[in-house]
Amino acid sequence: MDLLLHICCGPCSLFVIDDLRKAYPSCRLEGLFVNPNIHPREEFLRRQESTRQACSYKKLPLDLLPDYDQECWETFSGETAARCRMCYAKRLEKTARYAAEKGFTHFTTSLLVSPYQDQEALRQWGEAAASRYGVSFLYRDFRPGFRSGQQQARDLGLYRQKYCGCIKSLEERTVERKQERIRPKPGSNDPAEAAGGRDENDV
Ligand code: SF4
């Protein structure tokens, strides 16, 4: 198997790379950073750099695509779930096309490690994109390794983002944080606890 891993950010890639190497020890594995959703450009560059550092640490070959295309996220007026499906579709489509062009037989995504992403939608859009380009989508539930991957990122000092990525998610997170400051959980001085147990860096 020749497997291409779509990487959304460095922290999410760490456990996924280890897990894939363990599950498929003889496969050719390479990474691809293609995330035109990330706003603003400074944040895009930070996540690209954290991905480069993570792959360097794991000795994983990596390609970085400079796609940065904000208009469809800025102007999207539908509900959040529909926006995220569009976001998955765009990133997985680009990954599937790259996989076919570079001779990979399969691709998957580090988005599948996050408990905050929609696994079923990722699987559907991954399989749809794969069928258009004559490759296969490898679905694997990496979520059991989410916390250990984030801990590895902390230990390595990697940049860990505070919101999912697009301009709308930045706006939503800004509103949430304002509300958390106004209404802290009674009896708690811990910001993570006050946020309902969600670490401010969780994505
Ligand atoms: S919230 Fe995250 S997955 Fe959804 S559209 Fe924004 S960046 Fe994409």
- What DSSP assignment string belongs to 137-199? E-----GGGHHHHHHHHHHHT----SS-SSHHHHHHHHHHHHHHHHSPPTT---HHHHTTT--
More confident residue, 187 or 44: 44
- Contact of 17 with 41, CB cutoff 8 Å: no
More confident residue, 193 or 189: 189
Mean pLDDT of 123-134: 98
**pLDDT given for residue 184 in this prediction:** 56
Pocket test for ligand 1, best of 71, 77, 80, 83 (most atoms within 8 A of CB): 83
Q: Is 16 in the pocket of ligand 1 (CB under 6 A)?
A: no
The b/e string for 158-171 (b: 16+ C-beta within 10 A; e otherwise) is bbbbebbbbbbbbe
**pLDDT given for residue 186 in this prediction:** 52
The answer to whether residue 100 scores a pLDDT higher than 50 is yes
**Residue 67 CA to ligand 1 centre (angstroms):** 16
pLDDT, the chain, mean: 90
**pLDDT given for residue 176 in this prediction:** 85
Q: Is 92 in the pocket of ligand 1 (CB under 6 A)?
A: no
The answer to whether residue 200 scores a pLDDT higher than 60 is no
Cα 158 versus chain centre, distance: 15
Mean pLDDT of 125-130: 98
Q: Is 166 in the pocket of ligand 1 (CB under 6 A)?
A: yes
Note the pLDDT tens digit of each residue in 48-68. Answer: 999 999 999 999 999 999 888
